[in-house]
A and B are shown apart, each in its own frame.
Chain A
Amino acid sequence: MNLKAFLAMLARDVRVARRNIVALLFQTFLQPLMFVFIFGRVMVGSGYMPPEYKSLLLPGIIAICMIGTGIWAVAMPLIGEFQFTREIEDRLLAPMDISWVAIEKVVAGTLQALAAGIMVLPAAWLLLRPGVDLSLHRPLMFCAVALLVALFSAGGGLALGCSIEQTHIGLMFSLVVAPMIFFGCTYYPWSALAKFPIVQKAVLVNPLVYASEGLRGTLVPQFPHLSMLAVFVALIGFNAFFLIVGLRQFQKKAVG
């Protein structure tokens, strides 16, 4: 690996992100924060939802925000750069094995997903306050879960971005991302699906379930959540899977 080239590409991604910072902030935070406001404040304030719902909702919102950011940050540029304009070509010709170009994308996406998580946590907490009962009693475990979630989102972005064409972006969101969010235990805990046993089993293939439940287990452990062991095993497994698939697809796309 060529560290100088790798860091230069990372610097390039930071430059581009900084240039698009306003659009990026709106894209990352507007929807989750509107959701927090409507469900956390309006619905709870008017009595349609119990006050505890605020604490339950927060980890799910962080998970959505991180996953959305990571997937978007890696998949969208890749789809564009591999298209007709072949913008990525210059980086593929840098004196470095081309797999590192993909890994750089994943690192950049992971950092963006982590930044989104770090920023949305206080923003959502401020919007929901008072009555949010967060207890960061195992900070190391929280950091580990957050890192795995961020990495998974960027790895998923790599696999998706290298597998679909520009014309299928809309389809990717309606067929992959939207069902993932709704069946990802983001707005409700996994245990709430107990009355729908088939759905409850089926959603276990959705990696977002482990992200939401993992964050729930580390931020609001007073609510029922999946065992942390299951969360770690699943997140590590999904990370490995998406990275392997993503790197393979990247190679296939990069070389004629």
Chain B
Amino acid sequence: MPAGIRTSELRKVYNSPPPLAAGAGGMGFAAKRGKGKQPKSEVVALDGISLDVHPGEIFCLLGPNGAGKSTTVGILTTRVKATAGQAWIGEYEVWKQQVLVKRLIGVVAQRPNLDFSLTAREILTFHGAYFGLNHQERSKRAADLLERFKLTDRADHIVRGFSGGMMQRLSIARAMMHDPQVLFLDEPSSGLDPQTRLLLWEIIREYNNSGKTVLLTTHNMEEADALCQRLAIVDHGKIIALGTPKELKSSVPGGYLLRLHFGRSNPEFLQRLQTLAGVREVRASENQGVDLYADRGGSLIPEVASLAVFANVELCDVHISEPSLENLFLHHTGRSLRE
């Protein structure tokens, strides 16, 4: 039976740099002085995450590095202990019923963590054996997966010499080996070439079509947009938006974002921009920049330019983006996902 994922007010505070199990990326590490003599470094990785991923859904956690995506995956896959809050896979509570949970899940970590002492085929067959598959079954599944992920040529080579992309493909094949009900993929397409990325997307969709739940994390908006039925945008350990990609994109005022830079700027000029037809919101950004949310894009530029001439303000740079998750992220945080 397909299993869903649920979390309630998950919180995680690291007292030391996050361990590799949490896939510590570029997490900011803020030092705080505790009450004791020793200054204590603490970092709040998750600050009350509540999620409800439906059975059979592809759900995506989108956010920049250090947002708390990998820590969430770590907690849901028994590899990280939450400081507070609860998590369930299907009907099982993750921390208290670890063995039952581990039977339901397959995990692809952010960095390939393959067993370097084994060949590609052995990695799959031993993984199958850990999950109790019999000899015949695991040999067949391993052969099928190696073929599917285009690894048959190198199947009997030790994986130490594999390229990053091959390791990543093998990690995904391994996670699917025991046919888990819930598949976790932590930034699965990082390091893959565009062709392999498309193959991966196809495989994920196919896996989901067989009724399986997929939770993936990414900082690639295109990936979230293309794959997910619903997604949550995460920043600084909090969910800042949740919904289908379409809903989220339409929640940005106007949808279009014009990032403008002027030689100089003043509040009066910003007010004038606000009066242009189709402009929904005007925000000053850094370095004399202005973010203009509007329901049209390029057609606004002549009007902006003539307003600038009129106000004796030089227009230096224009960047127009169509309705996208990137705009949504910017709208909520004032930062780009890539920053």
Binding site for B on A (CB under 8 A): 2, 4-5, 8-9, 11-12, 15-16, 19, 84-87, 89-98, 254-256
Q: How many residues of B contact A (CB 8 A)?
A: 37
Q: How far is the CB of B192 from chain A (nearest CB, A)?
A: 19
Q: Are A256 and B74 in contact (CB under 8 A)?
A: yes
A51 to B99, CA, bound (A): 59
Main secondary structure of the interface of A (DSSP, over half): helix
Contact B122 A15 (CB under 8 A): yes
How distant is A121 from chain B, measured CB to nearest CB, in Å? 29
Chain B residue at minimum C-beta to C-beta distance from A77 = B117
Q: Mark B110-148, 1 if CB is under 8 A from A, else 0.
A: 010111111000110011011110000000000000000
Of the candidate stretches B14-22, B238-246, B262-270, B330-338, the one touching chain A is: B14-22
Contact B130 A94 (CB under 8 A): yes
Known: A4-B132, A5-B132. A86 touches B109 (CB 8 A): yes
The B interface is mostly helix, strand or loop, or mixed, namely: mixed
B131: chain A residues at CB < 8 Å are 5, 94-95
* Nearest 10 CB-CB pairings of A with B: A8-B129, A94-B130, A256-B19, A256-B21, A256-B80, A86-B113, A89-B113, A16-B117, A95-B103, A95-B102
Q: Within 8 Å of chain A (Cβ to Cβ): is B78?
A: yes
- Can you name 10 extra interface pairs (CB under 8 A) apart from A98-B98, A256-B74? A2-B132, A4-B130, A85-B113, A85-B114, A90-B113, A95-B99, A95-B130, A95-B131, A96-B130, A256-B81
Query: Least Cβ distance of A213 to chain B in Å?
Result: 36
A87 and B114 within 8 A (CB): yes
Q: Is the CB of B129 within 8 A of A4?
A: yes
Minimum CB distance partner of B95 in chain A: A255
Q: Are B129 and A90 in contact (CB under 8 A)?
A: no
Point out the residues of chain B lying under 8 angstroms from A19, CB to CB. Answer: 117
Return the contact of A86 from the options B20, B118, B123 (Cβ within 8 A).
B20
A146 to B83, CA, bound (A): 44
Measured in the bound complex, the distance between the Cα atoms of B113 and A112 in whole Å is: 26
With a CB–CB cut-off of 8 A, which chain B residues contact A9? 130
Residue numbers in B under 8 Å from A84 (CB-CB): 20, 111
Contacts of B77 in A (CB 8 A): 93
Most buried by A among B80, B81, B102, B111: B102
Inter-chain contacts of B6 with A (CB < 8 A): none
* Interface contact tally, CB-CB below 8 A: 93
Question: Could you list some 28 contacts between A and B, CB below 8 A?
Answer: A2-B132, A4-B129, A5-B130, A5-B131, A11-B126, A12-B115, A12-B122, A12-B126, A85-B113, A87-B115, A89-B21, A89-B107, A89-B113, A90-B130, A93-B77, A94-B131, A95-B99, A95-B102, A95-B103, A95-B130, A254-B21, A255-B21, A255-B79, A256-B14, A256-B18, A256-B21, A256-B22, A256-B79
A94–B19 CA distance with the chains assembled, in angstroms: 20
Determine the chain A residues whose CB is within 8 A of the CB of B117 once the complex forms: 16, 19, 87
Taking the complex as formed, is B212 at the interface, i.e. its CB lies under 8 A from any CB of chain A?
no
Q: Which residues of A contact B78 (CB under 8 A)?
A: 93
User: Which residues of the partner chain A approach B69 to less than 8 Å between Cβ atoms?
Assistant: none
> What separation, in Å, do the CA atoms of A114 and B177 have in the docked complex?
35
Smallest beta-carbon distance A86→chain B, Å = 4
What's the minimum C-beta distance from B81 to chain A, rounded to whole angstroms? 5
Residues 140-175 of B at the A interface (beta carbon under 8 Å): 174
Task: List the B residue with the shortest CB-CB distance to A89.
Answer: B113
Shortest CB–CB separation between residue A164 and chain B, in angstroms? 16
Which residue of A8, A86, A93 is within 8 Å of B102 (Cβ)?
A93
Q: Report B151 CB to chain A, min CB distance, Å.
A: 17
